[in-house]
Amino acid sequence: MPKAKSKAVPKSDAAPDMSPVVGLTTAMMVANPAVTKAWTDIMKESARFVSERLQEDMEAQKVLLQCKTPADLVQFQSEFVLKAMQQYADEAQRITKIMTDAGEDIAKDARHSWSRVYDNIPL
């Protein structure tokens, strides 16, 4: 009986091609520094928030393990969810503010770089 041919499955150990991302980032930096600043501000704020939330989640696990009654558990879960919802809402506001400020900076930069200076028109 002949052996069944097996299809070779390519290994994906190689790092993914990041050149499109690098190209986009470089184009952004060259096109408008305000966009680059907004991008880095959003990334920093996101990293800070995720780190803070992970810490809160780990603390919550410790408290959950110390609950003695179902009522304690429900009470803690309620407080935890309310606090988390407030933190996520606050974070959304912070990100929105960063984006709004960036939009204003980009618009201001566009006005100044493309606005015509009428003092330089020869008569």
Higher pLDDT, 81 or 119: 81
The pTM (predicted TM-score) of the whole model is: 0.64
DSSP letter at 123? -
Tokens of residue 25, six digits:
């980032």
Q: Is 98 within 8 Å of 45 (Cβ atoms)?
A: yes
Using the predicted structure, report yes or no on whether residue 118 has a pLDDT greater than 90: no
When pLDDT is cut at 50, 70 and 90, the band that residue 28 belongs to is: low
Using the predicted structure, report yes or no on whether residue 2 has a pLDDT greater than 70: no
Using the predicted structure, report yes or no on whether residue 71 has a pLDDT greater than 90: yes
Q: Give me the pLDDT at residue 74, please.
A: 95
Share of the chain above pLDDT 90, in %: 50
Higher pLDDT, 10 or 106: 106
- What are the angstrom distances between the C-alpha of 82 and each of 5, 9, 91, 96? 57, 47, 14, 21
Q: Is 34 within 8 Å of 100 (Cβ atoms)?
A: no
Using the predicted structure, report yes or no on whether residue 36 has a pLDDT greater than 70: yes
Using the predicted structure, report yes or no on whether residue 26 has a pLDDT greater than 90: no
